[in-house]
Structure 1
Amino acid sequence: MYLDPDRIPAKSTPAAATDIELVYRSLLAIVASLDYIDGSGIGSAVLKQQYLISAWNRVTPWLIFFHDQFIMCRANYRPVDKMAAIRLVATLLFYVSTIGDKRGGTTLLTTPALYRPIAELWLLALKTKDKDVVCLSSPSGPARTTSFRVCGSFLVSVCVYDKSFMTILLELSGGIDAVTSAALNYVKSLRSMAKDPDIVSNAFKLELLVPVFSCCIGIIATMSMLDAAIREAYVLRQSVKEIFWALRVLQSLPLDREHMAEALAPSFTYLDFLLKRGDDPVSALHQALCAHAFETIVHISPSGPLEVKIVETDPRRINEAFFRILFRYSLDDKILSYVCKHVDAWSNNLGPIVRQDERLLDLWSKVEQTLRLYGTLRSKAETIWWPSPSERSWVLQCYCGGPAEDIRFRQCAGCQVVQYCSKRCQRDSWHSHHRLSCNILKAAVGSSTPHRMKRSLRLLAALEVAHMQRKWDNIWKLATAAQCEYPKDRERLVLELGLDKNDESVRPLRDYLFLFNGLSENEVLERISSAPRAQHEGLFLSVQSSGLTAAQPAKGGSNSKRKVADTLESTTRKFKVNPDEPDVTVQTGLYTVEMFAANLAIKYLINFIIVDNVIWTWYYDRQGTVQSLGIQDLL
């Protein structure tokens, strides 16, 4: 009778004091009975829960009234103390959120009328002292309390994926940035909370940290999906680093496997979202690595057989996905620099989830082998070595003539693309042709291309050279077979190197004409071969009388169909060679090739670096990630 919504006054006044007092005591009685249920676990719990469900339509309006009048202090006359009102409202809402029955939990708490109070409680909790206000006690056991901040975040976690709730939350907080900032601040505060002996020693409080942590990540991720500016701003605010540091802290606490798996899933999901949608995925991954994401992830094990609906959060799958991410982004110089320093420690400290799973262990072994190879090649990135056309030794074919060893290239300050082995080469190149092509190359690369990406290109170039050397016998067989299969295209074959799949193929040039904006095969070849031979530059491989052009498609990323292959061909002068095997001839000069490459780069997002006897080409997707690079071996 006392909970009749018709008895709710428009405003708290002395005239309504009696009704307010009676309702307050009635709600306290409900809390006491629920506390008793929670503590004893007796069979009557179901009946009491059913009573709360049936009475919820009468309880809800009074909770809203108490919240509005006494918690938010919108009434001048307040017979109920603010903290007492917080305890009452938050405890009832918190208990409803923990009821096991789906109808009694989510449905009751996600009543639209409660969205505003829940949002205001969460924002209020972030601004107040983190006091214990929610009490679930029983006569037969000790009182169980949790903090206002934890309670508020727990309530929000139930509603955060409802658009109506998010609209209200944004309205109350003052915008997307304020909500995201609040969630990130809580993640940051998790470290200090984990050091609180009162929390660490209380299993009830400890277990609540995980859903609250997950909720805050969910808010950050949701806001990032809604607003690209927020997404990028919070990457700059080190959101990924803070999240994985917090996950690391949670791992140090006495939490069971199930809770750690629950904490890992949203953390990795947020990182994966930034890698796929962010403008700077490399920075996001680098933040995660610096916060010991690898060490944390490999030591989180599944608690047991997982339900089908949550199988995607299985730590085994997350470990596998993370290894593949490492493999993909290790080509970036920034990531590889970090990986090279830690791969030994990682390999020596793999968690049981990896060591006990044969498939995962095999995957890690392959990734580790690749990382170590990349590290070795990276150490040689500043010095490029090529086989001499006349000797079986490794020397650098210098532009100014004569072999030289251990040369550190000089980079053009204008385009920041072309590199030279000496000041003399740079000066001669500038006066002969680079003065004209410098601005074109600068436009092709873009003024905002980070230096680390350009360093990555050198590594990728070394990878392709290593691939060709390792697979040369097979390449030769493929070229011979292609000449028989395509007799009309004997001099227009393209060697395609697939570094990601460790394979190669030889196909006609006509298969790649889609890259050249309607140009015919003859027009493509004419643009390259029209200049005098002395002006061509590249590593020329002559396969008897036919031309073979090395090209590499862009692999990886969310769209595997995108392909970049650059086909260039030239007639070359020949040295005396064994007719049964290809020879290597190096030529200098490059005005026509450089200009042609620069124009292609502008039209087709194909970028070229010309370093004396080498043409490097790479491709950026919309995120700025290096997707493909090949040394153009002009045959």
Structure 2
Amino acid sequence: MRFFARNCLPPPYDVSVAPSRPNLCTVFDAGKICISPLTVICTRSEEGRHLLRSSVSVQHYIAQLWILVGNIRGDVLPGDPGTTSEGFIPMLRTSWALTNFVCVSESEDPDKATLPLSNYIHAAGGVKPVVITLLKYIRRITRDAVAVEEPRSWTTRDESVKLLHLYTTGLKYSFLFLQTISRQDASCRAQLIRQGSIRTVVDAITQISPRILVQANHELDFHPDMGLAERQNVLWSGYSYIASAIRDADDGVTGVCQAIDAGLLQTLTNALVCPAHANCRDHPPRGRMGDIELLFLLATFFIYHRVVQSITRHWYFFVQNFSRTKQETRDEGLGIALGLVLRSTIDAMKHRNVEPINVHLYRCSGPGCSMRVSKFVSKKRRCSGCLISIYCSEKCQRTAWRNGHKKWCQVLRCTIGPWGSREIRTSLQVIAGFETSSISGKVKEVETRVREAQQQFPDFSNTLVLMLDMTVYPSESHVLPVHMLEQFPGGDPIWPEIAAEIRQRSDSPPKGYMFSVVKVHLGNSTFTLFSPSTALRMAFEDQYFLDDEVYNSEDEDETDDSKTLGDQDLDYDSESLHNKRYDV
């Protein structure tokens, strides 16, 4: 490896001022000599894999040649005599996907020291070249797989079946490579999302799934290496990367929007007609983050306004595909999961479009002030405490403070999280809608949770709080003492006072608990928020005159994005599908 790196690969310095090197071996020869031994080492030798993970010179050679092969044009390496078969470079790409994954993966033996990921990234030229080259590999391997001729016999001896197996294996290790560097390095994870890695993976799955999810015959479907289970695991490796990128990111909302805009929901509806190998003999069950698990993870982000916007843009095509494939469903588990997620998309769009809209986003929060944001004379004033209330003037701000905002400012602050996330602040209406519908749909479950909490915490029976956990799908309910809530100022004396006012002003006061809170996540960050529905209603219900002028937002600078697709058509389709949802 050291010899090839010194004598075959382009030097990392200016060739014009360096001494000439002997022409002992070309890049083509080096790649041809290494492809088979490295593949055997990666698949059959634990000590060999450890060598790839621990040798600086080996990693430098592999990383540099990987970058070189990933960026060549015309599939011709320097030194290629032109007498080889046309499939050499595609085969080199797929084999290199396995080798590079082994280089950055964790060792089987935890006692053996391996090189950090930074060594590989440095040899490859930095984070950005690694990310861009990896995405190029995925796109080119996908292109090669799609270009394979339709197999004639669908047997293990058919050349087309062998090529499909080779390319899909290369895709599998490319997906695993994505997941590994994304998990180990935060800068790689952020750069991958920025370069559209989720979109690239979804496109690859969309293109190759019709070619590999084919139920052929007993011999091929139950083959340990080329069978249907192994082919589906290729796709689930891609799904696993998408899930890990969303869960581990600081901004998981962007990853979810990228997946939805790339057509992930439509791709999953097309998979309904494919057989579910989990129901077949000798076939393993779905992976921990397979297609269904990824669907449920996406559904936990339907509470965010930006995600609902993406759903709205693609909802018609999603429903159309689902209706078309529902009659031919062969994967019943995936069909049930898609039906549940479809209902959640309908609920999300309804919660965003429900009236009255969040008036405080478009009008001055001063009591009785009808000034709209677009008519503010000077730059709008936003309360630095709650980050929600906006005012047209200092006078309105002082008046609102004296008329109750002094007390509710802290409550609103607890409603948007400790860091005042913009995603949460702009999504309060949708979160409040899911909160209200969840509580009303779980009345008996909540009563059971209250009784259990009263028995478990007898000394705190007067300070119980209902927590709706929306970080999982379907959402779960828990009842805990207020001081046991995470990231929530439960010990502040304001909460018993507010609980009393909530009970006094509410038409149907909660029984057995003071108030509700909502647990949400934005990826790797989790927040416990005070009830958005309660906070918005009680902080603003006395400050506005809800007349027609409130909803006339044609000249507002912060317009409602729900008007983009035509609300009348959307509401009609949503209602008609909602009425038929139990047929799924």
Same fold (TM over 0.5): yes
Deviation of the 1:250 alpha carbon: 2.8
Distance of aligned partners of 1:449 and 1:232 in 2 relative to their CA distance in 1, 3 Å threshold: farther
1:248 to 201, 206, 219: 206
1:337-386 Cα offsets, whole Å, 9 max, x none, are 2224444543443468993344443333333223322322221155379x
Q: Distance in 1 between matches of 2:447 and 2:287?
A: 46
8 Å contact kept, 2:257–2:307: yes
Tell me if 1:456 matches 2:427: yes
Distance of aligned partners of 1:610 and 1:68 in 2 relative to their CA distance in 1, 3 Å threshold: same
After superposition, where does 1:536-615 map in structure 2 within 5 Å? Answer: 540-541=505-506, 549-554=514-519, 610-613=539-542
1:40-94 Cα offsets, whole Å, 9 max, x none, are xxxxxxxxxxxxxxxxxxxxxxx764664355689733355x2562364144436
Aligned length: 480
Deviation of the 1:440 alpha carbon: 7.2
Q: Distance in 1 between matches of 2:476 and 2:183?
A: 37
Which amino acid is 1:269 matched to?
S
1:387-428 Cα offsets, whole Å, 9 max, x none, are xxxxxxxxxxx9968xx9xxx9x9964447445899999568
8 Å contact kept, 1:282–1:335: yes
Q: For residue 496 of structure 1, what is the aligned residue in structure 2?
A: 466
Distance of aligned partners of 1:185 and 1:339 in 2 relative to their CA distance in 1, 3 Å threshold: same
1:78 to 12, 20, 23: 23
Tell me if 1:274 matches 2:250: no
Q: CA RMSD in A?
A: 5.9
Tell me if 1:374 matches 2:348: yes
Q: For residue 362 of structure 2, what is the aligned residue in structure 1?
A: none
Deviation of the 1:476 alpha carbon: 9.4
Q: Distance in 1 between matches of 2:232 and 2:327?
A: 12
Q: For residue 559 of structure 2, what is the aligned residue in structure 1?
A: none
Q: Distance in 2 between matches of 1:562 and 1:424?
A: 32
Which amino acid is 1:611 matched to?
F
Which amino acid is 2:129 matched to?
A
Q: Distance in 2 between matches of 1:217 and 1:486?
A: 47
Distance of aligned partners of 1:453 and 1:249 in 2 relative to their CA distance in 1, 3 Å threshold: same
Deviation of the 1:458 alpha carbon: 0.9
Highest relative contact order (Cα 8 Å, sep 6+), 1 or 2?
Answer: 2
Deviation of the 1:235 alpha carbon: 1.7
Q: For residue 321 of structure 1, what is the aligned residue in structure 2?
A: 293
8 Å contact kept, 1:96–1:109: no
Deviation of the 1:125 alpha carbon: 1.4
Distance of aligned partners of 1:91 and 1:352 in 2 relative to their CA distance in 1, 3 Å threshold: farther
8 Å contact kept, 1:157–1:212: no
SS of aligned partner of 1:245? helix
8 Å contact kept, 2:117–2:184: no
1:224-274 Cα offsets, whole Å, 9 max, x none, are 333323322332222222222233233355676556524323322222222
Which amino acid is 2:138 matched to?
V
Deviation of the 1:104 alpha carbon: 11
Q: For residue 261 of structure 2, what is the aligned residue in structure 1?
A: 290
Identity fraction in percent: 14
Q: Distance in 2 between matches of 1:485 and 1:123?
A: 60
8 Å contact kept, 2:468–2:475: yes
2:232 to 252, 261, 271: 261
**Structure 2: any 5+ residue segments left out of the alignment?**
12-18, 79-84, 107-113, 152-158, 215-227, 360-364, 544-584
Deviation of the 1:280 alpha carbon: 0.3
1:546-568 Cα offsets, whole Å, 9 max, x none, are 9973323526799999866679x
Q: Distance in 1 between matches of 2:316 and 2:4?
A: 59
Tell me if 1:173 matches 2:131: no
8 Å contact kept, 1:494–1:507: yes
1:220 to 178, 192, 201: 178
SS of aligned partner of 1:371? helix
SS of aligned partner of 1:355? coil
Which amino acid is 2:21 matched to?
N
Which amino acid is 2:96 matched to?
G
1:265-306 Cα offsets, whole Å, 9 max, x none, are 332222222222210011111111111122224445568469
**Structure 1: any 5+ residue segments left out of the alignment?**
1-62, 135-141, 386-397, 530-535, 568-585, 587-596, 598-606, 615-635
Q: Distance in 2 between matches of 1:545 and 1:69?
A: 77
Distance of aligned partners of 1:95 and 1:554 in 2 relative to their CA distance in 1, 3 Å threshold: closer
Q: For residue 572 of structure 2, what is the aligned residue in structure 1?
A: none
Q: Distance in 2 between matches of 1:84 and 1:514?
A: 58
Q: Distance in 1 between matches of 2:197 and 2:510?
A: 58
Distance of aligned partners of 1:525 and 1:376 in 2 relative to their CA distance in 1, 3 Å threshold: closer
Distance of aligned partners of 1:296 and 1:417 in 2 relative to their CA distance in 1, 3 Å threshold: same
Distance of aligned partners of 1:268 and 1:414 in 2 relative to their CA distance in 1, 3 Å threshold: same
1:233 to 165, 175, 191: 191
After superposition, where does 1:428-447 map in structure 2 within 5 Å? Answer: 429-430=399-400, 432=402
8 Å contact kept, 1:299–1:352: no
SS of aligned partner of 1:329? coil
1:334 to 306, 323, 327: 306
Distance of aligned partners of 1:509 and 1:179 in 2 relative to their CA distance in 1, 3 Å threshold: closer
Tell me if 1:121 matches 2:72: no
Which amino acid is 1:85 matched to?
D
1:511-553 Cα offsets, whole Å, 9 max, x none, are 8799556557xx7546888xxxxxx789713789999733235
Q: Distance in 2 between matches of 1:380 and 1:190?
A: 46
SS of aligned partner of 1:180? helix
Distance of aligned partners of 1:472 and 1:270 in 2 relative to their CA distance in 1, 3 Å threshold: closer
SS of aligned partner of 1:370? helix
Q: Distance in 2 between matches of 1:274 and 1:183?
A: 15
Q: Distance in 2 between matches of 1:486 and 1:71?
A: 69
Deviation of the 1:223 alpha carbon: 2.7
1:202-241 Cα offsets, whole Å, 9 max, x none, are 6655543333333333333333333323322332222222
Q: Distance in 2 between matches of 1:169 and 1:199?
A: 38
Q: Distance in 2 between matches of 1:377 and 1:428?
A: 32
SS of aligned partner of 2:505? strand
8 Å contact kept, 1:170–1:179: yes
Deviation of the 1:454 alpha carbon: 2.4
Q: Distance in 2 between matches of 1:451 and 1:544?
A: 30
8 Å contact kept, 1:97–1:109: no
Tell me if 1:182 matches 2:133: yes
Which amino acid is 1:610 matched to?
A
TM-score scaled by length of structure 1: 0.57
SS of aligned partner of 1:554? strand
SS of aligned partner of 2:506? strand
Which amino acid is 1:69 matched to?
N
Which amino acid is 1:178 matched to?
P
Q: Distance in 2 between matches of 1:207 and 1:545?
A: 59
SS of aligned partner of 2:514? strand
TM-score scaled by length of structure 2: 0.61
Structure that is richer in strand per residue: 1
1:453-492 Cα offsets, whole Å, 9 max, x none, are 32321122233444566677998999999999999999x5
Q: Distance in 1 between matches of 2:447 and 2:498?
A: 27
